[in-house]
Amino acid sequence: MHGATTTEITRARDIIAGFDFGYVVDRAVAAGMTRATSEIALQQLKTFLLACAEHPDRDIVPQSAACDDLWHEFIVADTRAYFRFCEAVYGEYLHHNGVTVPADRMAAARTDSARLFATADCLREAKSADCLREAKAADCLREAKAADCLREAKAADCLREAKAADCLREAKAADCLREAKAADCLREAKAADCLREARSQDA
């Protein structure tokens, strides 16, 4: 076996993610596995199958007895389907050979597999934490933008109010000017009347 390339791992991940394990789970449940246990075992099986693709040079052991049982059901439920799956994912048949492996090798494989899956779990948790931080950062950014928009809206309101106040003052000033001109005209008219009366009396 050769080391898996990034392309091979990506292809394996896509095949595993898209494979319908429903008939495998149904068979396991019919054999006595609870539905809740089968759901957990299925997630473990997918992780296990991908790990086998990622590390073809290592002996990898399923994470739990339920996962191992589900793997066995996967093999015997439809041997042709399992063979095609293995050819597509690994390029060869993935043997369920726990019985034939020497005890010391199996013990080492269990220890190595436990570390491998623990590392994978930590990586997933770290990615989840990163996603959470990114989501919070995005929320903060949206809130900051919303605050900016609110400030801009308030500034625009203030500007409109200031302009309205200016217009009102200008209108009042214009009214005052018109009133002043009207008063001037009235005074001038009265002065003209007085002048005419004075001239009439002189005549």
Q: Which residue is it, tokens 């693709």?
A: 53
> How many angstroms separate the most distant Cα atoms in the chain?
149
Question: What pLDDT shows up at residue 193?
Answer: 82
- Helix 103-202 vs helix 35-54: angle between axes, to the nearest 10 degrees? 100
CA distance 31 to 38: 11
CA distance 26 to 23: 5
Average pLDDT, the chain: 84
Question: What pLDDT shows up at residue 180?
Answer: 78
- 141 pLDDT band (50/70/90 cuts)? confident
Domain ranges of the chain: 6-100
- 110 versus 164: the higher-pLDDT residue is 164
Question: What pLDDT shows up at residue 74?
Answer: 97
Model confidence over 171-195: pLDDT tens digits?
787 787 888 787 787 888 888 788 8
Question: What pLDDT shows up at residue 155?
Answer: 82
Model confidence over 46-82: pLDDT tens digits?
999 999 999 998 889 999 999 999 999 999 999 999 9
C-beta separation of 70 from 38 below 8 A = yes
pTM of the model: 0.56
Q: How many CB atoms lie within 10 A of CB 37?
A: 18
Vertex 66: Cα angle to 73 and 46 (nearest 5): 70
Percent helix, strand and coil across the chain, each to the nearest 5: 80, 0, 20
